[in-house]
Amino acid sequence: MQQNKSQQILKMLNQVNWVYRILFWVIIAFFGLIVVENFIQGLTNGIITLIISIFVALFLIKLVFGIINLTYANLQYTRCLKLMNEQLREAGISTTLSQQSKIPPSLFAIDTANKLLFINNQQTDYEPLIFDKTKLISAKVERESTVHTTTKHKGNVAVFGSSFGYNFGSKSTSTSHITETAFLELQYLTEQKTSFTLVIPYGGNRRGAEEALNTIQQF
């Protein structure tokens, strides 16, 4: 049953990927035809159309992909997580702590009673991976910080002789904010006696990642 559910998950994710690919190439082909037609009419028209088409196509791709993310893809990802939670219950895991994310679908659970870890994500090819503390080599929390800077430019009106002018960029203000993302990294021993590192995303929930690490260390 678990293998069947894993196949269903992969099938749904492949369907989402194909929708993105088809829409992307449809948009590219549409604007490509417009550009080719204008190049036939003249080099200048072709170049101008190419520049405009690039900006419009990028905007349209972002808009369409955003709509897909909120509708079809969101529905498919939710279904994937539902199947993954069913696999968790079928495995008999007594969940103490769990972490799941939707994009991409990922499910991680800790069973302190039996000292087991359950992982199902892209790294496991969406096959449930269950191992005990004897297979765990190391565990740690990693953090990644990204600085986002927004700059606003302001100008002012100035008098030049008998005329007015606008001085662009005379003043600018920058605002920065830091976004921190936390990951739980688990290194475990595979059946082939090699080590493999699994990454569990926690987003901005650093405390959740540290709580999971502390729970694992108490095994």
Residues in the chain: 219
Q: Which class for 209: exposed (0-12), middle (13-18), buried (19 or more C-beta within 10 A)?
A: buried
Domain residue ranges of the chain, discontinuous segments joined by +: 2-74, 93-145+178-217, 149-176
Scanning the structure block, which residue is given the tokens 């080599």? 137
Token representation of residue 26: 């449809």
User: Region 168-186: what's the mean pLDDT?
Assistant: 73
Q: Among 4-8, 67-71, 185-189, 190-194, which is the least confidently predicted range?
A: 190-194
According to the model, what pLDDT value does residue 3 have?
53
Give the closest residue to 129 by CA, choosing from 210, 186, 63. 186
According to the model, what pLDDT value does residue 44 have?
81
How far apart CA 101 and CA 81 sit, in angstroms, is 8
Residue 115 vs residues 112, 129, 169: alpha-carbon distances, Å: 5, 14, 61
The fold for domain 93-145+178-217 equals PH-domain like (2.30.29)
Q: Is the pLDDT score of 85 beyond 90?
A: yes
User: Region 23-34: what's the mean pLDDT?
Assistant: 93
Count other C-beta atoms under 10 Å from residue 123's C-beta: 14
According to the model, what pLDDT value does residue 1 have?
47
Q: Are 97 and 116 in contact (CB under 8 A)?
A: no
Geometric angle at alpha carbon 123, from 118 and 128, rounded to 5°: 35
How far apart CA 207 and CA 37 sit, in angstroms, is 57
Per-chain mean pLDDT for the chain: 86
Q: Is the pTM of this model over 0.85?
A: no
Residue 97 vs residues 47, 65, 93, 158, 215: alpha-carbon distances, Å: 57, 33, 11, 63, 8
Position 72: which residue type?
Y
Geometric angle at alpha carbon 59, from 177 and 18, rounded to 5°: 100
- pLDDT digit string, tens, across residues 108-124: 999 999 999 999 999 99
Q: Is the pLDDT score of 40 beyond 90?
A: no
Q: Is the pLDDT score of 148 beyond 90?
A: no
User: What percent of the chain shows pLDDT beyond 70?
Assistant: 84
What end-to-end distance do the CA atoms of the chain give, in Å? 30
Position 13: which residue type?
L
How far apart CA 204 and CA 102 sit, in angstroms, is 14
User: Region 79-91: what's the mean pLDDT?
Assistant: 95
